Structure 1
Amino acid sequence: MANAAIPIQLIHAPQHNGMVIPYIALRHADGTPELGRVEPVRVAECLTDRLCQLCAQQLGAAAVGMARPQDFGYGYIPEPAQHPECAAYAIRACPMLLGRLPRLRDRTRPQRRRCDRADICWCGADEPPSVDAIVRSGRAATPWYSVRFPMSEYEVVESARKGPRGISLRAFTDPKVRLVSWGDPDLYELGRVVMNGLPTPWDGSGS
């Protein structure tokens, strides 16, 4: 994340190097966040309890989710929503949402760092990357969209084995979809954009 100005409502939130640490961010045992990775237990908590993924406070009358073209195809957003003001900060601060990262992180390589409690931390485990990590690692950045919706239409998609999967996109009657960053979509992703009628940089429908 870049050093965007922190809004007053987030001034008391935990920070790292001048940036707000999202509540769902994966943390090392020494407390250092691993930005760009999430803690599944906290993700499930936010989805179920209707909490903002950034500040962990109850969502209000409206919320914003961040979605990729593939999420519109699946019919749900896999990460928790945010307050509109928290989402605005995230868009200014996150390099992926800003379009500054041309490619996704390569998860198949060894961890960049281990914390000083690696003996009890996840970073000390020598686990092979997941199939999803192998498939997505190093790929060109995907387009990102913000989806604003009323909380009266908030609906969680559940999985019988894994709990909450995400927020249903199909439950929204008139969501406000805005292009946040375009990335470098391949032909398959472009097809998803077209099929779902999503905004592009050229059609003037970014908001």
Structure 2
Amino acid sequence: MANAAIPIQLIHAPQHNGMVIPYIALRHADSTPEFGRVEPARVTECILERRCQLCAQELADAAVLMARPQDYADGYVPEPAEHPWCAAYSIRACPMLSGRLPRHRDRTRPTRRHCTLPEACWCGSNEPPSVDAIVRSGRAATPWYSVRFPMSEYEVVESARKGPRGISLRALAHPKVRLVARGHPEPHDLVRLVLWDLPWPAAGDEGGH
């Protein structure tokens, strides 16, 4: 599939293989991005400073969160929001958000395929994968929703010891919620769709984004 067209607002953003590199993307020691993995310090920075996770610029009047059914159960999204135009690009460019990946990638082993400096990089370490990586690795792709809201309703959910957990979903009064990728929901996600009244195609409608 050809790379998604880059909007004019992102034309000067750093790119790799024709794709915009998200500001929060984890990078190898040689600066090669590891798409699909994030740098925790940059995630925290964007959440607290109200910046876009893709371009790192300040969010203005409205923002968009990318949420899973699990995030609705938790009450917050653990990653930063985006400008509406950045979110539209992410939905087209990201294999998971666009529905092109049926399963989560295996994140239980360090990735070395792009890195030319593994001896100086996180990918050359023997650190165990995170609990989230273990839980999600190889699982069926979850449904994804775009959640647009006014910045006047932006609220950070804090934890007692580890800084911000994410951006609150429960603080949003009238969000515009749209299904962007159906995924292959497991039973517990189907229950969450009902509990939180999330949009879902009618029987026989195969549209997913």
TM-score (norm: length of structure 1) = 0.95
For the pair 1:100 / 2:85, whether they are aligned, the reply is no
Give the paired residue count. Answer: 206
CA contact (8 A) 1:2 1:94 kept: no
- What letter is aligned with 2:102? P
- Matched letter for residue 161 of structure 1: R
Aligned to 1:180, what secondary structure does the other structure show? Answer: strand
Name the residue aligned to 1:67: 67
Classify the secondary structure of the residue corresponding to 2:23.
Answer: coil
Q: CA deviation at 1:176?
A: 0.5
Partner residue, 2:33: 33
2:9 matched residue in structure 1: 9
Deviation at 1:135, TM superposition (A): 1.6
When structure 1 is superposed on structure 2, of 114-123 and 164-173 the one drifting more is 114-123
* Paired residue secondary structure (1:91): helix
1:114 deviation in Å? 5.5
Contact 1:108 1:133 in 2 (8 A): yes
Following the alignment from structure 2 to structure 1, what is the Cα–Cα distance between the partners of residues 98 and 185?
Answer: 15
SS of the residue corresponding to residue 129 of structure 2 reads: coil
* Closer/same/farther in 2, CA of residues 147 and 28 from structure 1, 3 Å limit: same
Distance in structure 1 (CA, Å) of the matches to 2:65 and 2:2: 20
User: Deviation at 1:201?
Assistant: 1.8
> TM-score normalised to the size of structure 2?
0.94
Contact 2:32–2:114, Cα closer than 8 Å, also in 1: no
Q: Is 195-204 or 135-144 further displaced after alignment?
A: 195-204
Structure 2 equivalent of residue 129 of structure 1:
129
Q: Distance in 2 between matches of 1:176 and 1:89?
A: 18
How much does 1:132 deviate?
A: 2.3
| Residue 88 (structure 1) shift | 0.5
Whole-angstrom distance in 2 between the partners of 1:19 and 1:154: 28
Please say if residues 67 and 77 of structure 1, whose CA atoms lie closer than 8 Å, have aligned partners that are also in contact: yes
Q: What is the alpha-carbon distance in structure 1 between the residues aligned to residue 2 and residue 110 of structure 2?
A: 24
Looking at structure 1, the residues matched to 96 and 19 of structure 2 have their Cα atoms a distance apart, in angstroms, of 15
Q: Offset of 1:133 from its aligned partner?
A: 1.7
Deviation, structure 1 residue 202: 1.5
CA offset at residue 112 of structure 1?
4.8
| Residues 112 and 124, structure 2, Cα contact 8 Å, conserved in 1 | no
Does the 8 A contact of 1:14 with 1:21 survive in 2?
A: yes
Mind listing any 5+ residue stretches in structure 1 that lack a counterpart?
A: none
Do structure 1's residue 191 and structure 2's residue 191 form an aligned pair? yes
Q: Which residue of 1 is the match for residue 175 of structure 2?
A: 175
Change (3 A) 1:160 1:2: farther
Mind listing any 5+ residue stretches in structure 2 that lack a counterpart?
none
Deviation at 1:109, TM superposition (A): 3.7
| Code of the aligned partner of 1:54 | L
